[in-house]
Amino acid sequence: MTEQTAGRRIVTNMALSLDGRYAGPDSPEDMGWVMPYAHTDVARDHLTSLWEPATTALLGRVNAEGFLGFWPTVIGMEGVDPRDEAFAKWLVGTEKVVLSSTLGDAPWERSTVVDRPAAEVVADLKATGDGDVLVLSSASVIKALLAADEVDRLALTVFPVFLGGGPRLFDDGLPTGRWTLVSQAVGEHGTLALVYDRVR
C-alpha cells in the first residue's frame, strides 16, 4: 500500500464499460447497463472495502439525488443483501458534501452543499478530520480531481460490455503520473474490481 504523506486520502470509485465509458451515448443518466454486474459479490465486496475506511462522501448533485433517493429505501428491505444495507446505513449516517451550483440547502441529513471547484473542496477536506473521502461515481467530480491530480486512490469496476459511445472518464491532457495496483478481483460475469494508488 502506498503511504500518504499527510491528511486524508481522496478515493474515487467509478464503474466503466470495457470500452472505457461510464455512460452510454443516448442517456448519460441511464445506469441500467450496470445493474447485472452491480449485484455480484465482487462488486459488493469492492464497494464495502472502499466505504468502510471512509468518513465523508463527496458527490455531485446528479449522483447525490440518485444515491440519496435510492439507498435509504434499502434499509430494512426484505431480502436485502447485508452488504447493501450496511452501505446504505453508512451513506445515510456519514458526512456528505454535495458539489452543486444550483442547489440551495441540502435536502438530506448530514449534508452540506458547496458551490466551489472540486479541487478546492478536497484540499479543505484533506486538511481537516480523518478517514478517507470517498467520491461515489460522480463523473464530473472525479474528472475534475483527476485533472487537478488530487486523487490518491482510484477504484474501478470494469464490466464486460461495450457501450459503443458516450462519455469517457479519462480525458486527454491529464497530468502524467504513475499508479500502483493495490488490489484486483475477478467476479461473476467477468466483472473486474481494480484499485490503484497514486505514486507521489
Which DSSP category does 83 fall into? H
* Cβ(132)–Cβ(8) below 8 Å: yes
Pick the residue with more confidence: 27 or 169? 169
pLDDT of residue 53: 96
Q: Is 26 exposed, middle or buried (0-12, 13-18, 19+ CB in 10 A)?
A: exposed
The pTM score is 0.92
- Please count the other Cβ atoms lying within 10 Å of the Cβ belonging to residue 176: 5
* Cβ(151)–Cβ(178) below 8 Å: no
Average pLDDT on 148-157 reads 97
How many angstroms separate the CA atoms of 112 and 129, rounded? 15
Task: Give the residue carrying C-alpha cell 444495507.
Answer: 85
How many angstroms separate the CA atoms of 121 and 126, rounded? 9
- The percent of residues in the chain predicted with pLDDT above 70, rounded, is 96
Task: Decide yes or no: CATH 3.40.430.10 for domain 30-155.
Answer: yes
How many angstroms separate the CA atoms of 56 and 33, rounded? 27
Chain centre distance of CA 38: 13
Report for 14-28, 80-94, 103-117: range of highest mean pLDDT: 80-94
Average pLDDT on 113-124 reads 95
- The percent of residues in the chain predicted with pLDDT above 90, rounded, is 76
How many angstroms separate the CA atoms of 186 and 88, rounded? 24
Question: Mean pLDDT score of the chain, rounded to an integer?
Answer: 91
Going from the C-alpha of 172 to that of each of 3, 13, 185, the distances in angstroms are 28, 20, 28
Segment 52-99, tens digit of pLDDT: 999 999 999 988 988 888 899 999 999 999 999 999 999 999 999 999
Average pLDDT on 92-110 reads 90
Per the DSSP assignment, residues forming a β-bridge with 136 are 13
Q: Where are the domains of the chain?
A: 30-155
3-state secondary structure of 193: strand
How many angstroms separate the CA atoms of 140 and 138, rounded? 6
Chain centre distance of CA 5: 22
Sheet holding 192-199, edge to edge: 111-114, 95-99, 54-60, 132-136, 10-17, 153-159, 192-199, 178-186
pLDDT of residue 6: 56
